[in-house]
Amino acid sequence: MAVQQGIYRGVSAADRVAQRRERLLAAALTVWADPHVRTTMTAVCAEAGLSERYFYESFTGLEALLEAVMDAIAAEIETTSRTAAEAAGDDPVARVRAAVRSFMELLIADPRKGRVAIVESIAVPALRRRRTELLRHLAHQSALESRRVLGAPSHSEAEDEIGGMLFIGGMAELITAWLDGVLPASPDEIVEAASRALLGLYADSP
């Protein structure tokens, strides 16, 4: 027990727990995104190279692990989009395109993230509510950013929130079709179409 609580090979017990947690998260992403593998605790532990004893060190069960994967992806989407928008400067159109492009680049770099967060999560009844919560959160953040840089004086706050929901909901369906291979569009085409859609939602009416 003293070894567990102390330093082992220069790594503290808390750091070892954190490392094992990250291995489980990475393994869950791999297993969950693979349509040929059933997502179970056993499969995730095998992929991570850890025993189930270590699984319960960080998670109460499989659903808790999968929810943590979804939360991490949503946080990454939010952070990368905001960073890209800020780097684009003050031009509203450039900010929108940069944010949307950063999202697409994230999916291109690792399509598993889009598949599990948008597609696979809806197939797990216990995670549907969390998926809805995350999409609504991203919609709200989109509304806040769009109101700040694109907001039309004639729009109410409710109209801006509606715009955010329409955009994020539409993007979720768009990405689902693209990941499923039923939408023969290039990433650039998706970026341009999505950017135009968002700009149109927040444009002032003539």
Q: Which amino acid appears at position 127 of this protein? A: L
Taking the C-alpha atoms of residue 50 and residue 99, their distance in angstroms, rounded to an integer, is: 37
The percent of residues above 90 in pLDDT, for the chain, comes to 64
Do residues 131 and 69 touch, judged by C-beta distance below 8 A? no
Question: How does strand 11-12 pair with strand 7-8?
Answer: antiparallel
Domains of the chain, each with CATH number or no CATH? 2-59 (no CATH), 63-201 (1.10.357)
* pLDDT tens per residue across span 124-152: 888 989 999 999 999 999 888 888 887 66
| Window from 60-69, 117-126, 146-155, 171-180 with minimum mean pLDDT | 146-155
Confidence of residue 186 (pLDDT cuts 50, 70, 90): very high
52: phi then psi, degrees, rounded to nearest 5: -65, -25
Structure tokens at 9: 């090979």
* pLDDT tens per residue across span 82-94: 999 999 998 989 9
Q: Which amino acid appears at position 140 of this protein? A: H
pTM of the model: 0.84
Is the per-residue pLDDT at 57 higher than 70? yes
For residues 11 and 55, the model is more confident at 55
| Window from 1-10, 48-57, 131-140 with minimum mean pLDDT | 1-10
